[in-house]
Amino acid sequence: MVVLAASIISKSGKALVSRQFVDMSRIRIEGYLAAFPKLVGTGKQHTYVETENVRYVYQPIESLFLLLVTNKQSNILEDLDTLRLLSRLVPEYSYSLDEEGIGKSAFEILFAFDEVISLGHKENVTVAQVKQYCEMESHEEKLHKLVLQSKINETKEAMIRKASEIDKSKIEKNRGEKGGFMSLQSMGSGTGFGSETSISSSGGGFGSGSGPVFEAESFSSKPKGRPAASASAPPKGLGMQLGKTQKTNQFLESLKAEGEVIVEDVRPSIGNSKAAAPPPSDPVTLTVEEKLNVTLKQDGGIGNFDLQGSLSLQILNQDDGFIQVQIETSGNPGILFKTHPNISKELFSGENILGLKDPNRPFPTGQAGDGISLLKWRMQSADESLVPLSINCWPSVSGNETYVNLEYEASSVFDLHNVVISMPLPALREAPRVQQIDGEWRYDSRKSVLEWSIVLIDNSNRSGSMEFVIPAVDTSELFPISVAFTSTSTFSNLKVANILPVRGGNPPKFSQRTSLSTENYQVV
């Protein structure tokens, strides 16, 4: 039995947690996980599927999949036993079996996986033993911590005692200095008798008592005046800091003059964060956002098409919260809409108006991010014509070289911005030799990925190609190809028609933001 990897993935093939037990690249395991959803059948609780190279042993856990990727020579009975043990461990460490819960407890789940599987082979352990191993409770460790804490407490007590002794010695020293100086002043300023009485008493005699007492007070104020002298220390320290900053700036300027690219480490401030993501200026802002999860087959066809969208509302002032939002959609029957629980479903289904069930309550204000989500929708399809961007890859090996021809075809419905097509390559000594390209390219030698970038795809360039040459490789290593882009058009074509004030009067000014982006878009 050899388990290659143990993973928790979403229905669309997005990897949430994955632990590899043999040496394999990230691109390879991502390709295995991305190809899994199209191989899964329906109506089964837990079973397995096989490909030419590996076997998938899986079990659904609510909206996710717990998946073991093994070689085909592995013992299926042992694999199922390992899968059952892992399925009992996951709920022990994740408070909720969804993407958020798995993400927050990812490291605990990985540690538990490591206790169950070692170098691809199952350990003879139970759930209780795994929890005990992960907690790592040790009597010796507890004893060591108690001894260490007791030493720290003793040191603190000794410090307090020493500080009190130093304070007492300073007080006694100051008293001695005051008494000596007062007696000296009384001896110098007094005449004949009555000088000592002027010191011991606050008045009387010949008025000489007021003189020595005043001088003694003025002397005792001198130690209080020492902070004024030490007040020059902060400017001195500040000067040293300024000199250090000046030297640092001079050093950086010299590096810049030599042609070095200097990236300064500046801590983000509130002002910088606002400048990077400026808050909405209009009283009411509505954000339409759609995300695509698409898996295309390298031989043609579509493996998965999943679209998820949301409409969010953000209000600046509480007075503008008594509103209703009227929307317009394309009327696509394949898109399923779902309103927030506090939104009136009758009002939405009848008039396409998003309003609270209780009209006396305002929408909340001051929400972070894009605000509160009013409406969500989803569309799943197997129609390849819906795909905004199709990718065709034609690799061919000739002698010691591999010629790769990469093409894209974009739908006329969408104008795509910031398109990046990333192709994994084997480790190369030199960058690929690009012979022809529509756009720009960049080779990341660390990740061994070739990126093809097109700033804008519109009616002037609905299709394009790229051709490059690399040393002879197995063409299967050139997949999966990842695609990323954005667009200001959406599948739902949802638009905000009007803002209706509930209490009458003029409606507040509003703005609408619309975006379509890719979350997981691959050719496998």
Digit-coded pLDDT (tens) for 464-492: 999 999 998 888 889 999 999 999 999 99
Q: Which of 413, 410, 380 is nearest to 483 (CA)?
A: 410
What confidence tier does 234 reach under pLDDT thresholds 50, 70, 90?
A: very low
Q: Between residues 322 and 230, which one has the greater pLDDT?
A: 322
Residue 19 CA to residue 491 CA, distance in Å, equals 36
Other CB atoms within 10 A of residue 280 CB: 17
To which residue do tokens 């779902």 refer?
338
User: What pLDDT shows up at residue 213?
Assistant: 41
pLDDT of the residue at 77: 87
Structure tokens at 9: 């993935």
> Please, which pLDDT band fits residue 298 given cuts at 50, 70 and 90?
confident
Confidence (pLDDT) at 338: 92
Domains annotated for the chain, with CATH where assigned, are 3-135 (3.30.450.60), 282-523 (2.60.40.1170)
Cα(99)–Cα(16) distance, rounded to whole angstroms?
Answer: 7
Q: Which residues contact 97 (CB under 8 A, 6 or more apart)?
A: 61, 62, 63, 64, 90, 91
Q: Which residues lie below 8 Å from residue 15, measured CB to CB, with a gap of 6+? A: 7, 8, 9, 29, 30, 33
Q: Is 375 exposed, middle or buried (0-12, 13-18, 19+ CB in 10 A)?
A: buried
**Residue 418 pLDDT more than 90?**
yes
Which band of pLDDT confidence, cut at 50, 70 and 90, is reported for residue 249?
low
Residue 48 pLDDT: 83
Q: Helix axis angle, 76-93 relative to 127-135, nearest 10°?
A: 50
What are all long-range contacts of 457-462, with beta carbons under 8 Å and residues at least 24 apart? 457/389, 457/408, 457/410, 457/415, 457/416, 457/419, 457/485, 458/415, 459/412, 461/410, 462/409, 462/410, 462/412
Strands in 13-81 per DSSP E: 15-20, 47-50, 54-61, 64-71
pTM of this structure? 0.49
* Share of residues in the chain with pLDDT > 70 (%): 79
Q: What angle do CA 504, 510, 515 make, to 5 degrees?
A: 140
Please name the residue that has the structure tokens 């090996």. 397
The predicted pLDDT at position 140 comes to 78
d(CA 275, CA 255): 28
Q: Which residue has the tokens 């079973």?
A: 47
Q: Nearest 5°: CA angle at 162, between 157 and 165?
A: 130
Q: Is the dihedral of CA 423, 427, 431, 435 positive or negative?
A: negative
pLDDT-above-90 percentage for the chain? 33
pLDDT in tens, 343-360: 999 899 888 899 998 888
pLDDT of 225 > 70? The answer is: no
d(CA 512, CA 65): 37
Q: Helix or strand or coil: residue 471?
A: strand
